[in-house]
Structure 1
Amino acid sequence: MKILHTSDWHIGKQLHKYDLSEDLNYFFEWIVTYIKDENIDVLLISGDIFDQANPSQAAYKQYYDLLKQLINLDCKIILTGGNHDSASVLNAPKELLKTFDISVIGGATEDFSEMFVEFEKNGEKIVVAAIPFLKDRDIRKSVAGETYATKIEQIKMGLQTYFSNINAHYKNNYSDAIYILMGHLYVQGSQLSESERDIQIGNQAGIEPGIFEGVPDYVALGHIHKPQVISRTNNIHYCGSPIPLSFSEKEDCKQINVIHIQNNKIENVEVVPIPKHRNLITFQGSLEMVQENLSTFSEQTTLKSLAEIIVHEQSESIEIRQAFEELITSQSNEKIEVVKSRLIFTKLIRGATDAFVVGTDVADVTPMQMFEKKLELLSEMENTEELKNAFREILEELNL
């Protein structure tokens, strides 16, 4: 039996307002062919199917076009909701998709059995605990007036209890089957990129790998976009996103994981690289240096390369600002699309309105970063850590 683990598709994603649907189309074409050619039996998608809770019509179409291709293959599909997904949106066609052997678990259910999916083929039997992103209400009861530290500790304890109960449900009902656990969360020790939205209060409630108790035969994680092995001994893996979703991921080798099962045990976990169709590039240095590097760039890929430009100059001047704007607006290299740009002056007189460097797009700044910068400017402010914790709780309540 072969099981394919992927996650974090983020259908509908835009990189600094640049649509990445073409990138995903190439990935979807490739994965459909791979499933067919390699006789994949089960496809696991561990959360963040969509980039927004309320996807656009174009995102819906891309999603259903893919499912239409997948149902023609002899492959069981199990997908879960992530922190970017709306459980109700994913679950809306759940019963219809079930007729096509597609199991959708958009949000956690009170009955654990509803999140366990069995599959058997050629004498090999597996059971998948398809656990979606767990919200605060799924793992603890909030109490009025509780402190931030208490809330963090309760979240950690709630997650530990939750997964312990999931493992107990497996032992009591499916102990004769190979056990695969899907999850969408932050495990401490994993490497983040700038495109993951903070979950469970700034990831401070991230769990230790030991929370899974060494019970599952494979843990198929989503949420972190950089592919990585959290525990080789216990087979805890992030497969990562299939395409780069931020410039911090430009060096990542994107992949899928293929779990090979034989004689009712996992023989090996194969890492399969995903073909790359677009480069993300950073041009950084003085204005003259960046101009030269832009004009001489010649690497050709299927899709136009996306670039961020970061210019560093010593002293602020109108001439440099004008030259920088001219560079961005009149960039003539047809192999490059500039989607992000910043102009940084080393000798800049800063005031209350200069919380960020010149050229910073507000879309690049998280609410938490903006709040922290404001506190830095108000140097006389006391109890800043308490203020930061209170602001994090507000962001979590607003799902920002």
Structure 2
Amino acid sequence: MRFLHTADWHLGHHLCDKDREEEHSRFLDFLLHTIHEQAIDGLIIAGDIFDNANPPNASLRMYYNFLKSLTQSPCKHTVIIGGNHDSVSTLNAPRALLQSFNISVIGGATENINDEIIELKNEEDNVQAVVCAVPFLRDRDIRNAVAGELYEEREKRIKEGLANHYANIAKIAQKNRPAGCPLIATGHLYAAGARRSDSEKDIHIGNLGQIAATAFPQAFDYVALGHLHRPQKVGGEERIRYSGSPIPLSFSEIDDKKQILLVEFEGEKLQNVIPIDVPIARRLRRFKGSIAQVQAELELFENGTEALQCWAEVQLELEKFTPDADEQVRRFAEDKNLQILKVSATYTSSAASLAEQVDSADLSELNVSDVFSRRCESQNLDDADEKEMTRLFQELLSDMEEEKTR
């Protein structure tokens, strides 16, 4: 059996207020082409199909058009799980209809864990593989809140809840799977030791939900993960993988290769995991240094063979406040196939006055946690108070996020 593992599409995503629709459209065309070219049997999408709980109509249309195209492809089975950005109800709404096309959707944790176990059958009704389709597990799905519990106690309960869910579902699935069939698990979480970028939201408070590779039972022949946008193994294990996002979602991902993973089984034995690079439709660049250094780099810039205009971030290092720095930098790029989306500045001179060291970031560049952190800094709280305030804020924020994605 051969299937593709992908995740973290984030349809509807914006980078500095610029929509990514063209890039996503090109990725989905590439994915569909790969399914035909490689005669793929199955597809797993490990969460964060959409960028937020209320995706725009254009993103929904793109998603459904892709699923429609899948029905006319060699792909016989598709398994889709919800991520922390996805609305459970939005994903689950067409579930019964999609099931008739062998597209299984698990938008959120189910009341009966058996409903997360999906058998993939061939035309003769023989089971080819069993998938434990575990979606993003919210706090309420894996632990019972205890009034007054300490941070360390909550951390322990969340980790235990995640590990227990995987242990229980593995035990049930292993008991019933036919001999010679691979057992595949999914997940949308933050595994301990994995490398993150700037664009992933914390899933649990302060990433309490980090679990080790050992939390995934050996019964699983492959674990298809989502949430982190960099493709990587977990704990050095070939069988536990993040596919990463198909397009860069922040300037911190400019050096990351974007991939989908081709996973091959011979019976229940994992034979190969082959990364397939996603073609770059739009390059992201970061220019850093003094105004003169940035000018020199911009003069040498060529966009290459990418189909779409390059987007850039400029990080200036200045000795003193320069009112027209932003304007100067943008002027250097006027004759280039490049658009500067963001200019920020840091000051290297200790002589620069506080008034000169203006914060070049505006609210559109900050997330709510950044704003709260800056507010705490302005209050000159001691370390213990700031840590406690931040913990409480993150807890409230997590509750709000869970409410939005019901």
TM-score range, shorter chain: over 0.9
1:310-351, Cα deviation, whole Å (9 max, x unpaired): 1111012xxx21242343378413410111111222344337
Matched residue, 2:290:
286
Q: What SS class does the counterpart of residue 149 from structure 2 fall into?
A: coil
On the 8 A contact 2:127/2:178 being kept in 1, the answer is: no
**Residues of 1 paired with 2:24 and 2:153: CA distance?**
41
Q: 1:262 aligns with which of 262, 266, 283?
A: 266
The amino acid across from 2:391 in the alignment is N
The amino acid across from 1:281 in the alignment is R
Matched residue, 1:30:
30
The amino acid across from 1:370 in the alignment is V
* Most deviating of 112-121 and 282-291: 112-121
Q: 1:146 aligns with which of 146, 149, 156?
A: 149
1:109-160, Cα deviation, whole Å (9 max, x unpaired): 0212211111134877210011110011110111233233322221111111
On the 8 A contact 2:314/2:342 being kept in 1, the answer is: yes
Matched residue, 2:188:
184
The amino acid across from 1:372 in the alignment is S
Matched residue, 2:140:
137
Matched residue, 2:315:
310
Count residues in correspondence.
394
Matched residue, 2:365:
364
* Most deviating of 164-173 and 40-49: 164-173
Matched residue, 1:227:
231
1:108 aligns with 2:113: no
On the 8 A contact 1:126/1:178 being kept in 2, the answer is: yes
State the shift of 1:275 in Å.
1.3
Matched residue, 1:376:
377
Percent identity over the alignment?
38
Matched residue, 2:397:
395
**Residues of 2 paired with 1:263 and 1:368: CA distance?**
47
- After TM superposition, the structure 1 = structure 2 runs for residues 174-213 of structure 1, keeping only pairs within 5 Å, are 174=177, 176=179, 177-213=181-217
The amino acid across from 1:67 in the alignment is L
**Residues of 1 paired with 2:369 and 2:139: CA distance?**
20
On the 8 A contact 1:309/1:340 being kept in 2, the answer is: yes
Structure 1 alignment gaps of length 5 or more: none
Q: 1:171 aligns with which of 167, 174, 183?
A: 174
1:68 aligns with 2:78: no
- After TM superposition, the structure 1 = structure 2 runs for residues 233-244 of structure 1, keeping only pairs within 5 Å, are 233=237, 235-244=239-248
On the 8 A contact 2:294/2:329 being kept in 1, the answer is: no
Matched residue, 1:88:
89
1:140-191, Cα deviation, whole Å (9 max, x unpaired): 1112332333222211111111111111111222263310001000000100
What root-mean-square deviation, in Å, do the aligned CA atoms of Structure 1 and Structure 2 show?
Answer: 2.0
**Residues of 2 paired with 1:94 and 1:22: CA distance?**
27
State the shift of 1:268 in Å.
1.4
Q: What SS class does the counterpart of residue 290 from structure 1 fall into?
A: helix
**Residues of 2 paired with 1:330 and 1:289: CA distance?**
11
1:10 aligns with 2:17: no
The amino acid across from 2:214 in the alignment is G
State the shift of 1:309 in Å.
0.8
State the shift of 1:306 in Å.
0.7
Q: What SS class does the counterpart of residue 45 from structure 2 fall into?
A: strand
Please give the TM-score of this superposition, normalised by the length of structure 1: 0.93
The amino acid across from 2:78 in the alignment is I
Structure 2 alignment gaps of length 5 or more: none
- After TM superposition, the structure 1 = structure 2 runs for residues 344-355 of structure 1, keeping only pairs within 5 Å, are 344-347=346-349, 348-350=352-354
Please give the TM-score of this superposition, normalised by the length of structure 2: 0.92
Q: What SS class does the counterpart of residue 324 from structure 2 fall into?
A: helix
Matched residue, 2:327:
325
State the shift of 1:365 in Å.
2.3
The amino acid across from 1:335 in the alignment is N
Matched residue, 1:128:
131
The amino acid across from 2:167 in the alignment is S
1:3-60, Cα deviation, whole Å (9 max, x unpaired): 1100001001111111111111111111101101111000000000000100001111
**Residues of 1 paired with 2:109 and 2:66: CA distance?**
25
On the 8 A contact 1:227/1:240 being kept in 2, the answer is: yes
**Residues of 2 paired with 1:187 and 1:232: CA distance?**
12
Runs (4+) off by over 6 Å:
none
